[in-house]
Amino acid sequence: MNKDESISVIVRTVANLLFCFIIVYGLYIIMHGHLSPGGGFQGGVIIAASAALLFVAYGYKFADEKYSEKGFTFLKSAGALAFTGLAFAGIGIAFFYNIFWHEQIVLYGPPGTLFSAGIIPFMNFAVGTKVLAGIVIGVFTLGLFQMAKGETDGDGREEGGGGAEE
């Protein structure tokens, strides 16, 4: 095993270890967006970074086999539809009206707690889903441009190349 291959193994191992932690942190940012700086956009970007990390570590072919662009397009549309549906849910009263507060659908806690925001966490999840899917589609598109320039594997070397000169 030459030096280039060992670096590739290290990068892939670290990417595997960090993947779940990055997703959990992104979900935390989305869930607590009404309590601290953060929310749907920031959490969606963080979760999309985990997908980009796997893309960089394993290459476009791996990502293309594991993830479907149609699936992410569906997620992007579902996020936009969920946000719009939640926004119009209280249309009889006012746009973006917190319908959950008066109907007591969602449990409420004291101000400043996780369950004190009504409809906002649901909207944060909708925005996070849309942002996640949009950024992953953008990263896949950039990967297609890289593939058009020339076939490369996950660490940027020409496919089939041994790395160091032999």
Least confident of 37-41, 101-105, 114-118, 129-133: 101-105
Is residue 158 assigned to a domain?
Answer: no
Q: pTM for the whole thing?
A: 0.74
% of the chain at pLDDT higher than 70: 71
- Number of folded domains in the chain? 1
Structural contact between residues 148 and 87, judged by C-beta atoms closer than 8 angstroms: no
Residues 6+ apart with CB under 8 A from 23: 47, 50
Least confident of 3-7, 14-18, 76-80, 148-152: 3-7
Instruction: Pull the structure tokens for residue 9.
Output: 């193994």
Is residue 12 assigned to a domain?
Answer: yes
- Mean pLDDT within 95-110: 59
Structural contact between residues 114 and 32, judged by C-beta atoms closer than 8 angstroms: yes
User: 19 lies in which domain range?
Assistant: 3-149
Least confident of 73-77, 80-84, 114-118, 128-132: 114-118
Question: What confidence tier does 22 reach under pLDDT thresholds 50, 70, 90?
Answer: very high
Is residue 156 assigned to a domain?
Answer: no
Is residue 164 assigned to a domain?
Answer: no
Is residue 162 assigned to a domain?
Answer: no
